[in-house]
Amino acid sequence: MQGAPEGSRGGDDAARGPGRPRLRSDDELLDAAERVIARAGPPGLTLAEVAREAGIAASSLHARFGSKRALLLAASARAAPPVARRDLPPREAALDLLLRAAEPIADRETYLNTFTWLSVDLYDAEFGAHARRYVLRLRAELTAVLGDERLARAAFAAQQGAMMLWALDGEGDLLGRVREAVGAVL
């Protein structure tokens, strides 16, 4: 995870003085960034808005991450798919995994704001590498639990397709659409 250059201090961190702990961990700041992204999407994220969300000075956030891009890259690098439950039968575990992966973006506004990440991932190699890592990990989890790579790919495609169609037609709720599409494949 990328933070501020060694020895740089600003805002709240400068006020704390040497040897005193930071007011917020990087994880807390990235959580705040993710909440702002859910509301405004990556294009609407500003360091000032994330700082307000985290309850720190914008200068502190800038001192820690240096730029909006660095903050977004750190958030992207931290993203990890859920882990499949091994206490369920394989097809139930696969469905559960894909539902839990979709759950954080199950309301329309959050989905649409988060979806703007895709354009960043497609145009920027650094962001794209993090997105690819996420997809490959999720697909590996599906393959491990199902024991069939082709079925895992089909189930993942069904989840992604259901999410896109839900965004376009607005019918029903996201998790219901994912459940129906993935269930038909499994």
pLDDT tens by residue, 133-172: 999 999 999 999 999 999 999 999 999 999 999 999 999 9
Tens digits of residue pLDDT in 45-63: 999 999 999 999 999 999 9
Domain stop point among 59, 77, 95? 77
- Residue 113 per-residue DSSP state: H
Structure tokens at 178: 């994912």
Kindly tell me the sign of the dihedral angle through the C-alpha atoms of 1, 56, 45, 69. negative
pLDDT value at 3 more than 50: no
Number of domains in the chain: 2
Instruction: Report the predicted TM-score, pTM, of the whole model to 2 decimal places.
Output: 0.82
The verdict on 56 and 102 lying in the same domain is: no
Closest CA to 16 of 63, 70, 49, 71: 63
Question: Residue 132 is part of which domain span?
Answer: 80-185
Closest CA to 185 of 138, 146, 141: 146
The verdict on 89 and 163 lying in the same domain is: yes
Is the CB of residue 59 less than 8 Å from the CB of residue 132? no
